[in-house]
Copies of this chain bind each other. A is one copy, B any other.
């Protein structure tokens, strides 16, 4: 999908001609449906063609202008959504393609879901319409200066005062300052604030409260409320468009009914009572939010690989020793071995994300039926997938940048900003290490229950096959044998289970389970990763068992699935060998097969990234241009830098000329 530019020639036409599959149908496979392709296409073009949404100058804007630009875009996007009566699906896509972090993300992504998940029906009736119409702007204020991961350690207090039927929200210490919430610093009028509920002298732990922060008349902070932005963040442009904020309360009073009371309430008299709604419901929201983060991972990684693949097809460096034209760097096996596994991962994450969406609806239905049997498993699986996909994506974007050589370091490549905007996904919504430890804890519990005959469910079902998996031998004899999905699945299952059982046994040797878990936690991270990788591989394989229309589409996806799996085998060979899941020779065969698969990806590489269907506007990269006309674009971009306003730079007369003329005024010492 092109988007205007320097030339008319398609420098990548040759690459597109070698594709062995139907690209239009691959777009459908990637997006999920023909409908999804069409809507996404329409919204992407709508954004790309609207001058308000231009973002090519973003990394050059000073912070205040950048923030103002975010406000402008948010208002304009809303205007377009209303004017065009866009559906929710369309509106979400429009916001996606605007591609600039801002308060709306938290408003829709955290504030609204928190009220939906934790508010009573009455509260929802009152607050949601206000939020839906943007009569209020809301954010999600949980993290404090002193506590993020450990939510139970939050220090903000909400003390009930029965005399006035109010809660008094207060920040008793410096470290209790709310710190990080997006949209809080400048834009939000309201927040869901998490605080320790204290009533009748007793601390009932962390609860959510809807708190108005700013006047709806003039936007000034309400009495007792101190608000500000927490300062510059990683990169230029990037997440600096967001007003992550600091918030302090000095005995701010809110009506009792602004406590989110779906799960528990405080009565007029100050009694703390639980409702009959099971608290497991809260997990539903977490599964939902993390599911969207997995979907975002595939988007970010696919953008990065799209840029790196296209540029690697244009970039030529060195010729064959025999002379002749220079080699496209995409032809180098090292370039392929770094890039194609990331391309395969983008597809793998896309499909596991699609499945997670299904899982979320499944969990929701079960919750409604008060069936909590798969909740823990679903929660662990989502947490783990969030951790693994975001970590791989963050590293992968930077690898794609390096794959572009020097030019990847320029802002005009789009990769520095993509990276800087993306990396906090490894930290927010649960630090990845903390999440993986949760997964590991769940796996250890599952293993320990195997003995008592409890059947593991969902993504842990394979563990029920313990007798077989603990002793099975990989049957691979030739490199081609590695193309058998059953063989792949089995080694991944055996590896994950054996690592888990190993760890469980070592924990049992420790003086206490807790101590054992603590001492072995680095190994437990690896156990969790092995389990999650198995899930991703399995979901990719299962996807291929479905009907996928389009000439050559399924074949290409099968190649990518094999690349993904065998790349992991090679990368984690130590795991597979140490647990006796395969022999060194079988490992070498996997690696040999991997090399062959890269050769199969090569002629399809550009078409495989075209299938993401990204506009040049959304990609925001001169290196990733659809038409491959990279060099004139790089050259033109350069001259836009403010430093090029004058040939002789500002500062020459003060700081260069005196130096050259040996006329620096020296102090006499």
Indicate whether A232 reaches chain B with its CB closer than 8 angstroms: yes
Measured between beta carbons, the chain B residues less than 8 angstroms from A451 are none
With A577-B574, A591-B523 in contact, is A631–B662 under 8 Å at CB?
no
Q: Are A666 and B82 in contact (CB under 8 A)?
A: yes
Measured between beta carbons, the chain B residues less than 8 angstroms from A431 are 405
Measured between beta carbons, the chain B residues less than 8 angstroms from A62 are 62, 642
Q: Are B187 and A656 in contact (CB under 8 A)?
A: yes
Q: Are A67 and B409 in contact (CB under 8 A)?
A: no
Q: Are B424 and A638 in contact (CB under 8 A)?
A: no
Indicate whether A459 reaches chain B with its CB closer than 8 angstroms: no
Against B, the Cβ 8 Å flags (1 = close, 0 = not) of A192-234 are 0000000000000000000000001011110000011111111
Measured between beta carbons, the chain B residues less than 8 angstroms from A649 are 64, 67-68, 71, 186-187, 243
Q: Are B427 and A638 in contact (CB under 8 A)?
A: no
Q: How many residues of A contact B (CB 8 A)?
A: 147
Q: Are A521 and B334 in contact (CB under 8 A)?
A: yes
Closest chain B residue to A569 by CB distance? B574
A656 to B316, CA, bound (A): 49
Against B, the Cβ 8 Å flags (1 = close, 0 = not) of A145-164 are 11111100100000000000
CB distance from A602 to the nearest CB of B (A): 13
Q: Are A220 and B333 in contact (CB under 8 A)?
A: no
Q: Which listed residue, B75, B216, B317, B579, touches A150 by the CB 8 Å rule?
A: B317
Q: Which of A550-583 contact B (CB under 8 A)?
A: 570, 572-580
A135 to B661, CA, bound (A): 7
Closest chain B residue to A599 by CB distance? B519
Q: List 13 other contacts, CB 8 Å, given A148-B405, A150-B326.
A: A74-B659, A219-B652, A219-B656, A229-B644, A231-B637, A234-B235, A235-B236, A236-B240, A239-B409, A572-B574, A573-B573, A574-B575, A578-B588
With A78-B664, A595-B522, A651-B68 in contact, is A416–B233 under 8 Å at CB?
yes
With A227-B647, A229-B644, A235-B420 in contact, is A189–B326 under 8 Å at CB?
no
Q: Are B664 and A75 in contact (CB under 8 A)?
A: yes
Measured between beta carbons, the chain B residues less than 8 angstroms from A78 are 659, 664
Number of copies: 2
Indicate whether A374 reaches chain B with its CB closer than 8 angstroms: no
Q: Across chains A and B, which 5 residue pairs bring their CB atoms closest together, nearest first? A: A573-B574, A337-B522, A68-B651, A71-B655, A234-B416
Question: CB within 8 Å of B: which residues of A?
Answer: 59-60, 62-64, 67-68, 71-72, 74-75, 78-79, 82-84, 133-137, 143, 145-150, 153, 174-175, 177, 179-180, 185-187, 189, 216, 218-221, 227-236, 239-240, 243, 246, 316-319, 321, 326, 332-338, 395, 398, 401-402, 405-406, 408-412, 416, 420, 423-424, 426-428, 431-433, 437, 514, 518-523, 525, 570, 572-580, 584, 587-588, 591, 595, 631-632, 634-635, 637-645, 647-652, 654-660, 662, 664-667, 669
A631 to B570, CA, bound (A): 44
Q: Are B655 and A68 in contact (CB under 8 A)?
A: yes
Q: Which listed residue, B326, B575, B662, touches A135 by the CB 8 Å rule?
A: B662
A319 to B658, CA, bound (A): 60
A62 to B237, CA, bound (A): 12
A248 to B637, CA, bound (A): 16
CB distance from A436 to the nearest CB of B (A): 8
Measured between beta carbons, the chain B residues less than 8 angstroms from A149 are 317-318, 405
A337 to B521, CA, bound (A): 9
A246 to B218, CA, bound (A): 49
Q: Which listed residue, B133, B228, B398, B638, touches A639 by the CB 8 Å rule?
A: B228
Measured between beta carbons, the chain B residues less than 8 angstroms from A136 are 660
CB distance from A606 to the nearest CB of B (A): 20
With A83-B666, A420-B235 in contact, is A573–B578 under 8 Å at CB?
yes
With A235-B420, A406-B427, A669-B84 in contact, is A317–B186 under 8 Å at CB?
no
A137 to B661, CA, bound (A): 11
Q: Are A72 and B654 in contact (CB under 8 A)?
A: yes
A67 to B646, CA, bound (A): 13
Q: Which listed residue, B319, B335, B580, B643, touches A229 by the CB 8 Å rule?
A: B643
A318 to B227, CA, bound (A): 27
Q: Are A174 and B573 in contact (CB under 8 A)?
A: no
Measured between beta carbons, the chain B residues less than 8 angstroms from A427 are 402, 405-406, 408-409
Q: Are B641 and A229 in contact (CB under 8 A)?
A: yes
A133 to B62, CA, bound (A): 37
Measured between beta carbons, the chain B residues less than 8 angstroms from A228 are 638-639, 644, 647
A288 to B420, CA, bound (A): 33
CB distance from A219 to the nearest CB of B (A): 5
Q: Are B638 and A235 in contact (CB under 8 A)?
A: no
- Listed by A's residue number, 30 A-B pairs whose Cβ atoms lie within 8 Å are A63-B643, A64-B645, A67-B643, A68-B655, A71-B651, A71-B652, A71-B655, A72-B655, A74-B655, A84-B669, A175-B631, A180-B406, A220-B648, A228-B638, A231-B410, A231-B411, A232-B236, A232-B641, A234-B235, A239-B409, A334-B521, A334-B522, A395-B395, A398-B423, A402-B427, A572-B574, A574-B574, A577-B577, A578-B584, A578-B587
Q: Are B411 and A64 in contact (CB under 8 A)?
A: no
Q: Are A659 and B134 in contact (CB under 8 A)?
A: yes
Measured between beta carbons, the chain B residues less than 8 angstroms from A412 are 231-232
Measured between beta carbons, the chain B residues less than 8 angstroms from A234 are 235, 409, 411, 416, 420
Measured between beta carbons, the chain B residues less than 8 angstroms from A84 are 669
Closest chain B residue to A219 by CB distance? B648
Measured between beta carbons, the chain B residues less than 8 angstroms from A657 are 219
A559 to B408, CA, bound (A): 39
A218 to B653, CA, bound (A): 9
